[in-house]
């Protein structure tokens, strides 16, 4: 099925003619979800599994594929098999949004994906032994037409027809209306949570309340601002000092000392050593001695149980480094 046939199968003639004609854009900001504790069911919303991976936009053209992170970094070198699969299976020029994941059992694992994210050589990536999958959930452009004004539910129908699905390319299924039952099931299965999306909305670039995050456990990105010396048999460092931005201020959020294996300790210490500095980057640094300060450049994914009343992390654990978010964009996520 060609792209015009795909669009004709879903849209009537006037709807197709109303879609703006344009070349595939160089960049389009993806939609981002807002955290909420207000779980709900609503026929005007659809609900998808929240996957713990790396956000990726695929720009598919006749002369090749560009696979980019949400902050425009190339991902093609780390995931060459995805580039090849997209070249073969996407049926038209298109801009597609999705999430790249690796699994431990049936659970998506950001820590396992780290083994692929840090590889820059395509040949090395292929023999890493870490299988990855690209879950597609939105399409913003197809066959010279801007689709962003279409309702999400229409875009997803187009997406389902625009790709010949098969591993490692997967369609992200959704459920309609029953968000509360689905999030209960998701948490029982050990998933990270759900993304709730307003089904009749056009594409909203950036963060909005048209997409909402329901999380089963707490976790977010935080910025590394220093580290403590190792103790006992541990090498390289003891714990990371973490922070987030509050306006122009860089706030201290606490330390994390778990979640590291020996290779991670060595690799992360090597990365941090490039950003060492004499003074603390925090506006409210902890009153401790023996800390090596680093400029706030590296963004880490951290799981934890809750924020304390003092604004610090309780029971944090390190999950991995993120390369798809700038340090200055990291703020404390609070459910609304």
The tokens describing 275, both together, are 């950003």
CATH of domain 52-171: 3.30.470.30
pLDDT value of residue 75: 97
Closest listed residue to residue 219, CA positions, set 159, 141, 302, 142: 302
**Interatomic CA distance for residues 147 and 158, integer angstroms:** 10
31-50+175-216 folds as Dna Ligase; domain 1 (3.30.1490)
pTM of the model: 0.84
Q: Is 160 a catalytic residue?
A: no
Instruction: Please compute the mean of the pLDDT values over residues 211-225 and round it to a whole number.
Output: 93
Whether residue 37 is predicted with pLDDT greater than 90 in this model: the reply is: no
Whether residue 3 is predicted with pLDDT greater than 70 in this model: the reply is: no
Instruction: Please compute the mean of the pLDDT values over residues 268-297 and round it to a whole number.
Output: 96
Instruction: Name the active-site residue from 50, 213, 215, 218.
Output: 50
Closest listed residue to residue 143, CA positions, set 262, 31, 61, 199: 61
218-329 folds as OB fold (Dihydrolipoamide Acetyltransferase, E2P) (2.40.50)
* Domain ranges across the chain: 31-50+175-216, 52-171, 218-329
**Interatomic CA distance for residues 253 and 241, integer angstroms:** 8
**Interatomic CA distance for residues 210 and 45, integer angstroms:** 9
């Amino acid at each position: 099925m060609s792209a015009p046939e795909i669009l004709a199968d879903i849209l009537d003639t006037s709807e197709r003619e109303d879609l703006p004609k344009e070349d595939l854009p160089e960049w389009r900001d993806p939609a981002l979800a807002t955290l909420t504790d207000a779980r709900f069911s609503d026929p005007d919303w659809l609900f998808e599994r929240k996957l713990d991976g790396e956000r990726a936009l695929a720009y598919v053209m006749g002369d090749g594929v560009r696979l980019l992170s949400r902050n425009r970094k190339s991902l093609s070198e780390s995931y060459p098999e995805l580039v090849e699969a997209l070249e073969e299976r996407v049926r038209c020029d298109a801009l597609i949004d999705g999430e790249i994941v690796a699994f431990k059992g049936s659970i998506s694992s950001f820590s396992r994906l780290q083994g692929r994210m840090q590889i820059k050589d395509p040949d090395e990536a292929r023999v890493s032994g870490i299988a990855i999958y690209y879950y597609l959930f939105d399409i913003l452009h197809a066959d010279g037409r801007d689709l962003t004004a279409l309702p999400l539910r229409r875009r997803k129908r187009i997406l389902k027809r625009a790709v010949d699905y098969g591993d490692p390319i997967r369609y992200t299924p959704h459920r309609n209306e029953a968000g509360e039952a689905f999030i209960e099931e998701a948490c029982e299965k050990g998933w990270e949570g759900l993304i709730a999306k307003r089904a009749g909305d056009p594409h909203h670039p950036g963060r909005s309340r048209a997409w909402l995050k329901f999380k089963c456990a707490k976790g977010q990105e935080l910025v590394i601002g220093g580290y403590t010396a190792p103790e006992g048999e541990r090498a390289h460092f003891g714990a990371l000092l973490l922070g987030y931005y509050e306006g122009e201020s860089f706030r201290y959020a606490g330390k994390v000392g778990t979640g590291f294996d020996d290779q991670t300790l060595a690799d992360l210490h090597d990365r941090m050593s490039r950003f060492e500095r004499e003074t603390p980057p925090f506006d409210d640094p902890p009153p401790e001695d023996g800390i090596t300060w680093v400029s706030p450049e590296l963004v880490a994914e951290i799981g934890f149980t809750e924020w304390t009343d003092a604004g610090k992390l309780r029971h944090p654990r390190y999950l991995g480094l993120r390369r798809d978010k700038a340090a200055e964009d990291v703020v404390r996520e609070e459910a609304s």
